[in-house]
């Protein structure tokens, strides 16, 4: 079985993430959306909210699961027997950053990183932009799946 993880903080899940997940699941038998927990980071949305946003967005796709983890991504991959890490690339800066991480992960393990380019109409969307729109009272609904709603 080809199992991959798509790691991130997903604070919140964006249409860019959604695009990569939808396209990524066609490459793997199972895709784990792995929400990393970093005690040093201040999140806009609670872990429970982020899990719900993702679970509800993909509730009709049984080959997608949502899990949380702490520590090194490659250690989590080994723990759940995932041979691949899926990452999305929006721009050349993402590539340089992700390339360094992929090389490090490959040095630490035999886990392969697979890169997908974000669809052109979504390449400008990032969680930090979405958070800024939300903080300033803007209409964020065109940047996130319908499951991401502020109450």
Residues with a catalytic annotation lie at: 17, 41, 90, 127
Cα 56 from Cα 50, distance rounded (Å): 10
Alpha-carbon dihedral angle through residues 19, 24, 26, 29, given to the nearest 10 degrees? -140
**Predicted confidence band of residue 68 (pLDDT cuts 50, 70, 90):** very high
Convert the pLDDT of each residue in 85-109 to its tens digit.
999 998 888 899 999 999 999 999 9
How far is C-alpha 73 from the geometric centre of its chain's CA atoms?
12
């Amino acid at each position: 079985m080809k199992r991959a993880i798509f790691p991130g903080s997903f604070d919140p899940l964006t249409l860019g993430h959604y695009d990569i997940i939808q396209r990524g699941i066609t490459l793997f038998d199972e895709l784990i959306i792995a929400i990393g927990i970093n005690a040093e980071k201040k999140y806009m949305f609670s872990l429970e909210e982020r899990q719900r946003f993702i679970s509800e967005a993909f509730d009709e796709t049984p080959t997608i699961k949502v899990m949380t983890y702490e520590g090194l991504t490659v250690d989590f991959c080994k723990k759940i027997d995932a041979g691949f890490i899926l990452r999305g690339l929006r721009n050349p800066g993402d590539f340089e950053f992700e390339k360094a991480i992929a090389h490090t992960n490959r040095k630490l393990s035999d886990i392969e990183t697979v890169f997908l380019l974000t669809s052109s109409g979504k390449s400008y969307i990032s969680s930090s932009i979405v958070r800024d729109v939300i903080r300033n009272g803007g209409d964020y609904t065109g940047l996130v799946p319908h499951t991401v709603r502020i109450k």
